[in-house]
Chains A and B, each alone.
Chain A
Amino acid sequence: MSGAFLEPTPQQSVRTPQLTGELIATRRVGAYHHLTFVAPGVAELAKPGQFVAVAVGGDTSANLLRRCFSIYRASSVDKVSSIHNVSSIHNVSSINQVSPSGTHGGTVDVVVAARGPGTRWLTGLSVHDEVNIIGPLGHPFPLPKEPVACVLVGGGYGSAPLFWLAAELRERGCHVEMVLGAATKDRLFGVVEARRSRRAMDGVTVTTDDGSMGIKGWVSDVLTDVIRRCHADVVYGCGPMAMLKSITDVATAQGAVAQVAVEESMACGIGVCMTCVMPVVGDDGLTRMVRSCVEGPVFRGDRVRWDAFEHGWCAVPQDAHGAVAMRGH
């Protein structure tokens, strides 16, 4: 059944919204922060796997490059009241949530790890602060045509877009299993949500490198068994590159198709800056350096040239289209 995915809906002639969104909720979830922004127009267009590009530091910030986050949850205007229930499904150590002070609109939720000046600025925001947001951006996860079994694998907070995807797959009649992995217990994201939403998930497996929660080991250690157990045809993944490579290897060995959302560093999110280029094999068998923000972030795992990624760097393969001309640039 390989490749039996729904054709993407033709690109609508709608302009991607760029707007100033008010932060209406911010809370710590383990090692991460879960932020909710009022973002009219974004939620209505968004699909699982897409992301938003958020400006950081204010109008005169020296941190000019946007930070890109996959959309954890998108609620259009009529569902906005449901966000008030969100906090109850996390291990919430602090919560600060209010109703938007301005015009109501749809909301977008993202999960942020405070790692650098931009993400620290974002996680330090208070409710009613405003942030410039562009989105939804990128291609969403393709959905299978048939109600096949799917395994959703999330590394760390890479799991964020998978809960929403799981709900959509279940609506289509798919059997959905989830595998959540991280280095340590506090770096897992969404375990409580996954286990509580039994209606949206048929099974949940947890791994940690140090064994502080679930099975000690990597997601790839348990993935073969999960795929076999439910006869999965599709494996969706989101997380670090090394994990996506091993997901692809395991899925391919089991005859399943891997669909992975990559976490390449992006600087603009809209296809201008060329920061996020990576080698991907096209339908014609030729490797091209493609922008993961506009051609991804979701790719078929077996199309990504994993051999180009090493030690946190991505090289241009010698056989890639235009590789010779890229020498020295």
Chain B
Amino acid sequence: MLASIAGNTAGEFAEVAAVLRQSPAFDAVVGVEVNISCPNVANRGLVFACDPLSSATVIALVREKLPRDIPIFAKLSPDVTDIVEIAGACVEAGADGLTMINTLLAMVIDTELLRPQVAGVTGGLSGPGIGPVAVRAVWQVRAAMIEGRIPTVPIIGVGGVRTGDDALQLVAAGASAIQVGTATFNDPTAPVRVNRELAAALQDKGFARFSDAVGIAHSRLDPRR
């Protein structure tokens, strides 16, 4: 399993990583996702993933606590000015891969009571609506890798995936693996179904190997562009 860890301070991330490593079930862990899209209590609550230095600090601390053969993935927030800069900082700090994207910071007001609907005031927006944001983020980071602006690492695409077609968009933008989150609330079989639909879509389009489809859209830009 790919374990996902989080913390309120950089030190807490390291502590969680250390606890995970000591777990009797650590043999089942094939990788660790570091969810840096959390507010940093030590830095005015600014989200780690909004600052390249904070992001790099967390990744470096977690990297130290885990065996070298356990890959770590930095989970990035789309709520940033330049996601490529954050992605580059994480990879240089030791991330073996990137997970994109986390939820978008959002808020809903209860129009009957005219007060914030969520007890925490703001919350993370997920679901099909954020799919195009995820595709854009994966596209931008993958493009930077192709252009050699940041090192090339695998990307796990996540955000708004409900169907095999949604997954295929992320793959074509540059994702080498897919996560399904919110869609499982609607259909508990969604991850299995998406996998099946994606495999069928790739076969229909004549791809012999999954990896041939990863990032394919970058080679199919309009030449007049």
Task: Give the B-binding residues of A (Cβ under 8 A).
Answer: 18, 55, 62, 64-66, 132, 134, 267-268, 270, 272-273, 312-315, 325, 327-329
Known contacts A313-B119, A314-B119; A328/B41 CB under 8 A: yes
25 contacts between A and B (CB under 8 A): A18-B187, A18-B188, A18-B189, A55-B186, A62-B128, A64-B127, A64-B128, A64-B182, A64-B185, A64-B186, A65-B185, A65-B186, A66-B186, A132-B187, A268-B184, A270-B188, A272-B184, A273-B185, A325-B8, A328-B38, A328-B39, A328-B45, A329-B6, A329-B38, A329-B120
Q: Is the interface of A mostly helix, strand, loop or mixed?
A: loop
Is there an interface contact between A272 and B188, defined as CB atoms closer than 8 Å? yes
Is there an interface contact between A64 and B8, defined as CB atoms closer than 8 Å? no
With CB as the reference atom, state the residue of chain A lying closest to B8: A328
Proximity bits, B106-144, A CB within 8 Å = 1, else 0: 000000010000011000000111000000000000000
A254 to chain B, nearest CB (A): 33
With CB as the reference atom, state the residue of chain B lying closest to A16: B188
With CB as the reference atom, state the residue of chain B lying closest to A267: B185
- B167 an interface residue at 8 Å Cβ cutoff? no
B119: chain A residues at CB < 8 Å are: 313-315
Is there an interface contact between B129 and A62, defined as CB atoms closer than 8 Å? yes
Question: What is the bound-complex CA distance between A314 and B182, given in angstroms?
Answer: 22
* Residues 169-200 of B at the A interface (beta carbon under 8 Å): 182-189
Task: Give the A-binding residues of B (Cβ under 8 A).
Answer: 6, 8, 38-39, 41, 45, 113, 119-120, 127-129, 182-189
B187: chain A residues at CB < 8 Å are: 18, 55, 132
B120: chain A residues at CB < 8 Å are: 329
Question: What is the bound-complex CA distance between A328 and B182, given in angstroms?
Answer: 21
B6: chain A residues at CB < 8 Å are: 329
With CB as the reference atom, state the residue of chain A lying closest to B116: A313
Q: Is the interface of B mostly helix, strand, loop or mixed?
A: loop
A268: chain B residues at CB < 8 Å are: 184-186, 188
Is there an interface contact between A272 and B185, defined as CB atoms closer than 8 Å? yes
Q: Which 5 pairs, one residue from A and one from B, show the smallest C-beta to C-beta distance?
A: A268-B185, A64-B186, A313-B119, A273-B185, A328-B39
Question: What is the bound-complex CA distance between A267 and B118, given in angstroms?
Answer: 13
Question: What is the bound-complex CA distance between A134 and B39, given in angstroms?
Answer: 36
Question: What is the bound-complex CA distance between A314 and B187, given in angstroms?
Answer: 27
Question: What is the bound-complex CA distance between A18 and B186, given in angstroms?
Answer: 11
B102 to chain A, nearest CB (A): 13
A134: chain B residues at CB < 8 Å are: 188
B8: chain A residues at CB < 8 Å are: 325, 327-328
A162 to chain B, nearest CB (A): 28
B149 to chain A, nearest CB (A): 33
A64: chain B residues at CB < 8 Å are: 127-128, 182-183, 185-186
A134 to chain B, nearest CB (A): 7
Question: What is the bound-complex CA distance between A312 and B183, given in angstroms?
Answer: 27
A315: chain B residues at CB < 8 Å are: 119
Q: Which of B119, B127, B188 has the most CB of A within 10 A?
A: B188
A273: chain B residues at CB < 8 Å are: 185
With CB as the reference atom, state the residue of chain B lying closest to A115: B112
Kindly list 19 other residue pairs between chains A and B, CB separation below 8 angstroms, not including A134-B188, A272-B184: A18-B187, A18-B188, A55-B186, A62-B127, A64-B128, A64-B182, A64-B186, A65-B185, A65-B186, A268-B184, A268-B185, A270-B188, A272-B188, A312-B113, A313-B119, A328-B8, A328-B39, A328-B45, A329-B6
B185: chain A residues at CB < 8 Å are: 64-66, 267-268, 272-273
B183: chain A residues at CB < 8 Å are: 64
Question: What is the bound-complex CA distance between A17 and B45, given in angstroms?
Answer: 43
Question: What is the bound-complex CA distance between A65 and B184, given in angstroms?
Answer: 9
Question: What is the bound-complex CA distance between A88 and B35, given in angstroms?
Answer: 56
Question: What is the bound-complex CA distance between A313 and B39, given in angstroms?
Answer: 22
A314: chain B residues at CB < 8 Å are: 119
B116 to chain A, nearest CB (A): 10
Q: Which of B182, B186, B187 has the most CB of A within 10 A?
A: B186
A55: chain B residues at CB < 8 Å are: 186-187
A183 to chain B, nearest CB (A): 15
Question: What is the bound-complex CA distance between A323 and B185, given in angstroms?
Answer: 25
